[in-house]
Structure 1
Amino acid sequence: MGMSDTTDRALGALTGLAVGDALGMPTQSLPRELIVRRYGDIVGGFHAAPPDHPLAAGLKAGSITDDTEQALLLARLLIENNGRIDPAELGRRLLSWENDMRARGSLDLLGPSTRSAISNLLAGQDPTETGRNGTTNGAAMRITPVGITVDVSDLGRLVQRVVAASSFSHNTGVALAGAAAVAAAVSAGIDGATVAEAVELAVAAARMARHRGYWVAGGDVAARIEWAIEFVRDSDPAQLIQRIDQVVGTSLASQESVPAAFAVFAVHADNPWLACRIAASVGGDTDTIAAMVGAMSGAVYGSTAFPGAAVHLVTTVNHLLLTPMATALLALR
């Protein structure tokens, strides 16, 4: 007996996250011009990281980065604790993950928001305070498993779970809004939503989450998602990439990279493989943007929307067992 559509979409979200992340691995933190010189206008497939890469040097083609690794770490914690997250335990696990990465010679370690939060947490600071400066997209990049475990029909509960999983490191309105948007789009996709419906729920979740956590200056994520989608609506891939690179922005800031991911998702989600390749080509934080695009489009269109050979490569290179994980996360829904 084959898997149900819902299971396939949950698997699609995890698969897309890993595929997008691996496509963006060699292009992450590079300017658009350099990506074009090395890989052409749109990245065609998986590449090993060049030896001079600032973060990924030595990683072979199809390797995932911190985006997928941290999402799977969060997934395991959710499965073990029946959908609940203990911030201190999440902090400890992320720290031991980083130590393990360092031992493997990786330079792709904890992001700035998460690292400072964990050191504050371990120094005894209250977990509601440790994430008050966390504005980057680290919460959004690892939130997909929460989207799989919580039904989008109860948006308040979804946002609550996003905050519980994120606030120790990213307790600001912009970061929580970015994470809530991605989680809501994934959750909506798993329920069978169209791309337009998923976007609408994502914007509503971002609106709700922006009042959580500490206020920091920065564009409103919900408003910027709506604006970015409108701004790129009739773009061909070349215009889409240019507009995202130059105007929407591709930095670690939640209010740039999350709207950038939604801009690609809104235009190209019906072809998740192309969507991830475009996201891997925009410059800046490409692995995270492509991981978010892959998770959202995979949730809408299912795991079979990605080429079998691409999925096989990523799961083999990284020893991923995504089907049992998708099934276990769904059981919590």
Structure 2
Amino acid sequence: MDDAAFLRARATLLGLAMGDALGMPAQTLTRAEIRARYGRITGFVAPFAGHPVSHGLRAAQVTDDTEQTLLLARRLIADPVGFDEAGWARDLLDWEAGIRAKGLQDLLGPSSRAAIEALLAGASPEVTGARGTTNGAAMRIAPIGIMTPPETAALVARVARTCRVTHNTGEAIAAAAAVAMTVSCGLAGADLDAALDPALAACRAGQAQGNAVGEPDMAGRIALALRLAEGGDEAALIAGIGSSVASRDSVPMAFGLLRLARGDLWRALELAANVGDDTDTIGAMAGAMAGALGGSVPEAAAAELHAANDLDLDGVARGLLALRAAAERQP
């Protein structure tokens, strides 16, 4: 296994988990509410008592973004050739049951839950995710980027297959494909500038998959976010893009924050934690991409993260890289 590839795969998963945990206490809050509750978030903090989603969690603990990413990774490692959609649906429902048993509230969204229950009741996966445009697919797609070389057709096909149970729309698949291709290019040694053209090409190819529902031009939205961020104006990016759970907002925002951070992984995560609304998911996506693209992981923060969570990120990274190596050996 190539040492450089392992370090980037490890950084992808660490960046994702750290962005998730850093944004966890701020999720669903406006920027003004974040300032009132926490000042400016620059490190791991616990959510305030009675937080509508994150109450019960401690500082540096992760949420559904990291947990579902690892759930998908393990499903892919166990079944590298096919993708058992019913098995994946059961994985998600079992995960949610575990969250409920802990008394936590960061559960499946209503559209994902309805789609999964419909699939297990016999509905076709072509139908179950027909309206899903939120960022649930993009937030957990990083394992596809780690395991798949940066070839557009193969990568987008894998993205679409993992998305369609819950997010079988052009908006969601395009968004997830852009994130996955950025990660894949990073694992191949690229920086952000080198990854952008392949990421936008994958985004456009993903747009043609699934149902024509939601945002019709995800690549255009990402390009707009990058332009708004080019001058270093965070306020312009936030005003022009937004940070909601919709893929059309949160995924371009993650790309824009990468541009604002100029390769500094922790800076990207800090920006995400304070942006407002879907802070944990934006942080997770930005962190995964920044880690893959060579961003430096602060070891003290990584140690704090591991102390607060039971995460086998290194083992998952090695399992996904073994699949990538096998794909690269194929003619």
Tell me which interval the TM-score lies in, with the shorter structure as reference length.
over 0.9
Report if aligned partners of 1:13, 1:298 keep a CA contact under 8 Å in 2.
Answer: yes
- Partner in structure 1 of residue 228 of structure 2: 231
Cα–Cα, structure 1 residues 293 and 120, in superposed 2: closer, same or farther, change >3 Å?
A: same
Answer yes or no: is 1:255 the counterpart of 2:248.
Answer: yes
Per-residue CA deviation, residues 151-197 of structure 1 (Å, 9 max, x unaligned), is: 01x11000000011111110000000010010000001010011111
**Partner secondary structure for residue 11 of structure 2:** helix
Answer yes or no: is 1:161 the counterpart of 2:195.
Answer: no
Per-residue CA deviation, residues 133-168 of structure 1 (Å, 9 max, x unaligned), is: 11100000000001100001x110000000111111
Point out the more displaced range, 288-297 or 263-272.
Answer: 263-272
Alignment map for 1:74-89 (pairs within 5 Å): 74-82=72-80, 84-89=82-87
Report if aligned partners of 1:219, 1:255 keep a CA contact under 8 Å in 2.
Answer: no
Deviation at 1:331, TM superposition (A): 0.4
Residue type of the alignment partner of 1:276: L
Point out the more displaced range, 225-234 or 213-222.
Answer: 213-222
Answer yes or no: is 1:210 the counterpart of 2:207.
Answer: yes
TM-score by length of 2: 0.95
Answer yes or no: is 1:184 the counterpart of 2:181.
Answer: yes
- Partner in structure 1 of residue 30 of structure 2: 31
Alignment map for 1:1-333 (pairs within 5 Å): 4-40=3-39, 42-82=40-80, 84-152=82-150, 154-235=151-232, 239-240=233-234, 242-301=235-294, 305-333=296-324
- Partner in structure 1 of residue 329 of structure 2: none
Report if aligned partners of 1:280, 1:287 keep a CA contact under 8 Å in 2.
Answer: yes
Q: Which runs of 5+ in 1 are unaligned?
A: none
2:317 and 2:185 mapped to 1: Cα distance? 15
Report if aligned partners of 2:160, 2:173 keep a CA contact under 8 Å in 1.
Answer: yes
1:280 and 1:228 mapped to 2: Cα distance? 18
2:146 and 2:228 mapped to 1: Cα distance? 29
Superposed CA RMSD? 1.3
2:255 and 2:262 mapped to 1: Cα distance? 9
2:83 and 2:242 mapped to 1: Cα distance? 31
1:39 and 1:49 mapped to 2: Cα distance? 9
Aligned residues: 324
Cα–Cα, structure 1 residues 277 and 84, in superposed 2: closer, same or farther, change >3 Å?
A: farther
1:258 and 1:17 mapped to 2: Cα distance? 14
**Partner secondary structure for residue 331 of structure 1:** helix
Deviation at 1:233, TM superposition (A): 0.7
2:81 and 2:9 mapped to 1: Cα distance? 15
Deviation at 1:43, TM superposition (A): 1.5
Deviation at 1:85, TM superposition (A): 2.0
Cα–Cα, structure 1 residues 50 and 83, in superposed 2: closer, same or farther, change >3 Å?
A: farther
Residue type of the alignment partner of 1:188: C
Deviation at 1:38, TM superposition (A): 2.3
Point out the more displaced range, 262-271 or 156-165.
Answer: 262-271
2:196 and 2:81 mapped to 1: Cα distance? 24
Cα–Cα, structure 1 residues 129 and 269, in superposed 2: closer, same or farther, change >3 Å?
A: farther
Residue type of the alignment partner of 2:298: P
Per-residue CA deviation, residues 199-252 of structure 1 (Å, 9 max, x unaligned), is: 2211111100001000113251110000111012112xxx31x23432201111
**Partner secondary structure for residue 301 of structure 1:** coil
Deviation at 1:269, TM superposition (A): 4.6
Report if aligned partners of 2:12, 2:183 keep a CA contact under 8 Å in 1.
Answer: yes
How many percent identity over aligned positions? 47
Per-residue CA deviation, residues 245-297 of structure 1 (Å, 9 max, x unaligned), is: 32201111101100000000122151101110101110010000000000000
Report if aligned partners of 2:178, 2:203 keep a CA contact under 8 Å in 1.
Answer: yes
Residue type of the alignment partner of 2:219: A
Point out the more displaced range, 23-32 or 117-126.
Answer: 117-126
TM-score by length of 1: 0.95
Q: Which runs of 5+ in 2 are unaligned?
A: 325-331
Deviation at 1:83, TM superposition (A): 5.3
Residue type of the alignment partner of 1:191: A
